Chain A
Amino acid sequence: MKKILIILFSLFNAYASPAQQQVEGMKQVFDVTLDELGNANVEVSMKLNASQWDMFKKNLGTNTSILKREMEKALPKYYLSDFNYSEDAMERSYKMKFKVAGLAGLNGKDAWEAKLESKNPDITKLSDKEFVMNATYMNNGMLIQQTQKIHLPSGASGAKIEKDSFGKAVLTFTTSGAIMPRVITYAGILLVLVGCWLLYKNSKPKSPLQVAPKSAMAA
């Protein structure tokens, strides 16, 4: 997931020449919304200043498919689809949306996990369903400050950051859809146990003391 952060740099990075020391970097915000099936809907939105907008348009021209290609080249391990680009030239802002198939997968414990590909990410849990990850990079002398908002599905619970066997951070959470089959299995086992116990109890002959009064009355 971290990889998503570092794409698109080449389209925005401004040049810090030896003559010019930068004091603040470019800010980028990524919204990553995971659905109930582990797919991610990513929205990149930026508002640029006049100079940055000039550079962006100069590089992009009218060929917005460059953005798609750069994204696909930057994320070769994933399947990306449903690209959509829109801009508001008057406000010097744009939005780009796309879908990443299978960004999160189910592990052996029926929990979803998404690899963050970073050993110590600067990540903050805002709520059970929202995280914010901050990253800062230097690119050609330009400071890039990025904020990635991760939104988990509405049915998500128990979200936490764990480590994989390589020590890299992994975001894990559960959803009702993922744990339902296990719940059914456990409920089935419970029913079998209860049924067996009742069978055992009901199949035992009743004691003579309980039967005797009935016989006496009949006599």
Chain B
Amino acid sequence: MSTKTSFLKNKRLLIPAALVVVGLLMSFHRPIMGLIAPATLDLKIQHQPVIMPALYKVYANENALEGKYSLFKMLVTNNSGNVAKNVEVSYQIPNYIEWKQVAKIKTILPGQSVVVNCYPSFPDKIVEKTTTSKEQVNIKVSGPNISEAEESFAIDIKGRNEFMYTCIPSDEIRTSAEIFDNMALLSCYVTPEDPIIKYYTQKVQEKVLKGEDASVGNKEQEGVRFLTGIYYSTLVSHMVYSGTSGVPAKIDDVSSIIQSIRLPREVITGKTGLCIELSLLYASILMDAGLDPVIYLIPGHAYPGFKMNGKYYAIEATGIGGEGIGGRSTPEQALQTGMKNLDEFFQRASQGDDRYMLVDIRESINQGALAMELKDDNFLRQKVDEIAQAFGDNYQANNYNAQPVNYENNGGGNDNNGNADPNGYQNYTGIVNFAYPASWRAMPHNPQSMPQLKSIISNSGNTAYVEIYQFNGYNSTSQAIQSIQQYVSNQFGGNMQYTSGGQTASGYEIISGKTTVGNQGIYWKAAFKSTGNGIAGIATGANFSTGSNYESTVNNIINSLR
């Protein structure tokens, strides 16, 4: 009897006990399964070919330049049948960054992939590094129920002065621009916040320019005076042009020139610089003074300038040359050369030559390409003081005031009142030859525009323009005009009306017309003639809103056709 009672009692307890056991198994199924069969993760890593210390702020910022400069990008895929929980991804670069967690992933389901991007915060001291070293990046993936995985890769950490022009693998390079894909990062070498640069800028403003208000008043003439003032400062301090190393290197599957770039403070105190270094120095000073610096890059060369009110200015900073390499240009000559180069720059760029690149420093900085932190240095300040003594002794800045004004007047073209002065014109030479107001600028070419539209030159407000066309294989002017008409209709839903207006002395057939799109439109004149390959010519006009302001300008352009 007692045995039966005990059995019944045990039976009554058996079911609840089983429920408890099953419940515990269900509650703790994850750690239990982790002990029995841990999840296995598959790792796929892509990493930077090198680390350039000057870019350490870019590497740290996941929003900089769309985040493309991560130290590594890792695809973590759970290839097992178990859920991976609380997966931690850590990395370490011995001597630079201690073990640091880059991501903690709560859950990775079987078959799921997660992308981890690493944006490392290098210590500021990395900018004191002057030589290249081979370092190791260690990555650890761990978690309570996964098989711990460790990966590592070697990477070159360059010296702070070394700059690699591209990080695109050589077999992926398609255009000239891609050979210089890192050019937006040049702004990392523009150091307006460097105490030494600030000190130097103050000296230029005080001793050379005797005060300036280019950024305050947004005056182009004053900006040009500043530009020539910087040149004058480098000239009288006997700064000279000199080369630095630029060596081709192959790192993994990337081939690039690695250029040694001296920092602006080193250029000032060393009194020597390469074209790109001088450009970075100018950009640093201009930026410190509140202007918008730009650097123009052309094959084998670079020169600085600034933009203001939609206009661009340039100076040939290497005009300082040196007695050993053929003499030195005056500030006027350097400015003239710079502006002449600038014309060629825009012409080439407008023709789609992607070797002609413009680095807008402020734009690059806005994208996160920030300059390195540099400490103040009393010795360097003393050097600046010594250099600045030369400014006072030789100050002749008044002589340089007029030249930029003259340039602007030459280019003025009387945009505001429309009474174009033919003397203020410059020549366009190409598939057609004509003259246009010298202040007008070629607009960047867009390869997706109408294929026959080769170039556009416009005034600063983009209210008046000249378009250069070439219609290969076309037989007549009317065929060309109809082609444009069709394009305007298809592309913009616009309407084009025109009438024939006779011929110029040089054999161009004149067409006058207007194009309307919605409530807006333009009055224009076009001139085309037959060439060996087809039809070529120009269309020039101005928006309705300008009234008759540009009538004489348009006639001058048409009459200048040769």
Binding site for B on A (CB under 8 A): 3, 10-24, 37-39, 49-52, 54-55, 58-59, 66, 69, 73-74, 76-79, 101-102, 105-108, 110, 140, 177-178, 181, 184-185, 187-199, 202-203
Contact = CB atoms under 8 A, between A and B. Distances in A.
A59 B445 CA distance: 14
Interface in B532-558: 539, 541, 543
Contacts of B446: 13, 15, 140
B465 A37 contact: no
A102 B20 contact: no
A193 B559 CA distance: 98
Contacts of B505: none
Contact of B448 (A55, A189, A203): A55
B67 A195 contact: no
Interface stretch (B22-30, B220-228, B321-329): B22-30
Contacts of A178: 107, 109
Contact of A19 (B44, B83, B172, B522): B522
Contacts of B501: none
Contacts of A195: 16-23
Given A51-B490, A77-B115, A106-B107, 17 more contacts: A14-B449, A58-B451, A59-B448, A74-B66, A102-B75, A102-B115, A106-B108, A107-B106, A181-B83, A188-B29, A190-B23, A191-B26, A194-B16, A195-B17, A195-B20, A196-B20, A198-B15
B448 A23 contact: no
Main secondary structure of the interface of A (DSSP, over half): helix
22 contacts: A14-B448, A15-B450, A17-B449, A17-B465, A18-B462, A20-B491, A20-B522, A22-B491, A38-B113, A49-B490, A76-B68, A77-B67, A101-B77, A106-B112, A185-B30, A188-B22, A188-B25, A188-B28, A191-B19, A195-B17, A195-B19, A196-B16
A77 B117 contact: yes
Main secondary structure of the interface of B (DSSP, over half): mixed
Nearest to B519: A21
Interface of B: 9, 12-13, 15-30, 44, 62, 66-68, 70, 73, 75, 77, 83, 105-109, 111-115, 117, 172, 174, 443, 446-451, 453, 456, 458, 462-465, 467, 486-488, 490-494, 515, 517-518, 520-522, 524, 539, 541, 543
Nearest to B25: A188
A54 B451 contact: yes
A108 B108 CA distance: 11
Nearest to B115: A102
Contacts of A110: 107
Contact of B493 (A15, A23, A184): A23
B492 A50 contact: no
A14 B451 CA distance: 11
Given A39-B113, A140-B446, A187-B26, A19 B541 contact: yes
B230 to A, nearest CB: 33
Nearest to A79: B75
Given A20-B488, A20-B517, A55-B451, A191 B22 contact: yes
B17 A199 contact: yes
A78 B16 contact: no
A184 B463 contact: no
Sort A-B residue pairs by CB-CB distance and give the 7 closest, nearest first: A188-B26, A15-B449, A191-B23, A195-B19, A198-B16, A192-B23, A195-B20
B458 A79 contact: no
B448 A106 contact: no
A108 B115 contact: no
A69 B172 contact: yes
Contacts, number: 191
Contacts of B17: 195, 199
Nearest to A100: B115
A2 to B, nearest CB: 12
A16 to B, nearest CB: 7
A21 B13 contact: no
Contact of B26 (A12, A184, A202, A203): A184
B26 A23 contact: no
Contact of A21 (B28, B107, B517): B517
B18 A102 contact: no
B103 to A, nearest CB: 10
A193 B26 CA distance: 13
A105 B108 CA distance: 8
Contacts of B21: 195
A16 B458 CA distance: 13
B539 A185 contact: no
**Which of A14, A17, A49, A105 is most buried by chain B, counting CB atoms within 10 A of its CB?**
A17
A67 B276 CA distance: 33
Contacts of A199: 13, 16-17, 20
B30 A20 contact: no
Contacts of A19: 465, 467, 515, 522, 524, 539, 541
Given A79-B75, A199-B17, A17 B83 contact: no
B459 to A, nearest CB: 9
B491 A51 contact: yes
A107 B465 CA distance: 55
B115 A20 contact: no
Contacts of A13: 446, 448
B394 to A, nearest CB: 46
A18 B111 contact: no
A23 B494 contact: yes
B109 A106 contact: yes
Contacts of B111: 37
B29 A185 contact: yes
B23 A17 contact: no
A78 B46 CA distance: 11
Contacts of B543: 18
A79 to B, nearest CB: 5
A38 B113 CA distance: 8
Contacts of B83: 181
B104 to A, nearest CB: 10
Contacts of B29: 181, 184-185, 188
A77 B16 contact: no
A202 to B, nearest CB: 4
**Which of B62, B115, B458 is most buried by chain A, counting CB atoms within 10 A of its CB?**
B115
Contacts of B68: 73, 76
Nearest to A178: B109
A20 B494 contact: yes
Contact of B465 (A10, A18, A59): A18
